């Protein structure tokens, strides 16, 4: 559920050569990783709470409702972490656009064809 989203956002930042655009981007990368870990932790916390309370409900797709639709504190923290991840993803996309715009003709062609 969460891992593919976090992996895709990091892949956008590391495109095309697998390195950060500059060392200044480390804090953004670590923020995205921490937010993904926090979101996963709160999702598992909501699941464990539902199991401990004997209140396990399933939604129409067969998933546990506490994971997809957390309530209370879990819902608030899930929203906070999701917003942080979305913000980091937006920064990653902006970084790629700026890298492409600043590139010379040869580098721009390499980035576009990869």
Q: What is the pLDDT of residue 71?
A: 78
Residue 3 lies in a domain: no
Confidence of residue 107 (pLDDT cuts 50, 70, 90): low
Percent of the chain with pLDDT over 70: 86
Residue 82 lies in a domain: yes
Helices (H) and strands (E) in the chain, counts: 5, 0
Residue 44 lies in a domain: yes
Number of domains in the chain: 1
Residue 39 lies in a domain: yes
Q: What is the pLDDT of residue 2?
A: 46
Percent of the chain with pLDDT over 90: 4
Residue 110 lies in a domain: no
List all residues 6 or more positions away from 67 whose beta carbon is below 8 Å from its beta carbon: 1, 43, 46, 47
List all residues 6 or more positions away from 78 whose beta carbon is below 8 Å from its beta carbon: 39, 42, 43, 46, 70
Q: Residue 69 sits in which domain range?
A: 22-87
Q: What is the pLDDT of residue 1?
A: 45
Residue 6 lies in a domain: no
Residue 108 lies in a domain: no
User: Could you tell me the pTM of the whole model?
Assistant: 0.70
Residue 8 lies in a domain: no
């Amino acid at each position: 559920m969460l891992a593919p989203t976090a992996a895709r956002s990091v892949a956008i930042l590391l495109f095309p050569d697998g390195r950060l655009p500059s060392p200044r981007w480390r804090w953004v990368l670590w923020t995205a990783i921490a937010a993904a870990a926090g979101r996963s932790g709160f999702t598992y916390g909501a699941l464990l709470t539902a199991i401990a309370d004997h209140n396990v409900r399933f939604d129409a797709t067969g998933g546990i409702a506490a994971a997809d639709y957390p309530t209370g504190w879990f819902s608030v923290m899930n929203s906070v972490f999701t917003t942080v991840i979305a913000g980091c993803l937006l920064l990653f996309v902006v970084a790629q656009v700026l890298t492409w715009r600043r590139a010379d003709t040869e580098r721009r062609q390499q980035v576009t064809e990869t």
